[in-house]
Amino acid sequence: MTEPGLCRCPWAGSDPLYIRYHDEEWGVPKTRDSEFFEKTILEGFQSGLSWITILRKREAFRQAFDGFDAAKMAAYGDAKVAELLSNAGIIRHRGKIEAAIANARAYLKLAEEQSLTAFLWGFVNGEAIQNRFASAAEVPPETPLSRAISKELKARGFRFTGPTTTYSLMQACGLVNDHLVSCHRHGACAALARPQIPVAARGIHFRPDLL
């Protein structure tokens, strides 16, 4: 539960929905494929828009995309695309809708080799990167690591996963702790930074030069 009067990252603003998201979700290390997949889809829809827009429509997105069931999404055809384009509750952007379907198919293809969770955590050797930014101006829109992950995702068929969108995904899912050091959530998220994948799976993608 959120508390008033706490120091937060400036982007949290004053909207109760945004504050709750900041205090309870953003930066918390995710460990389930369903969480990573949903965030990947929503981050793609967020591209070029504000995250609060997506948050306000998140439940509508979940209903429209069958709870982000990848198998169901991968089977969507023209009729479903037309239905989604007429759904005022979501972002009606054909390119992003088609990308979401492509991402479901890419997600299922990746699952034949490894989970999306292991794939993404592998890039940071299983442990969240702890940044110590003092101001929002210091937080980068993308990094060499997000560019490397973006390149791999695109090579595997994922779409709307550019370096900036990928870095936003990393922040949201806790692969990197970008809460400002003055924010009450920085320490809380840092305390959750622990190995997120089995030791045997680490290092598959690990590039210390990109950290």
Catalytic residues: 21, 43, 51
Position 7, amino acid:
C
d(CA 43, CA 175): 15
Residues with Cβ < 8 Å from 153, sequence gap 6 or more? Answer: 106, 161, 166
Q: What's the rounded Cα separation, in Å, for the pair 190 and 193?
A: 5
Half-sphere exposure of 38 (CA within 13 A, CB side): 22
Residue type at 70?
A
Q: Which residue reads 């101001």 in tokens?
A: 135
Name the residue type at position 71.
A
Sequential DSSP letters for 113-155: TS-HHHHHHHTTTTS-EE---SSGGGS-S--HHHHHHHHHHHH
* Separation CA 125–CA 164 (nearest Å): 21
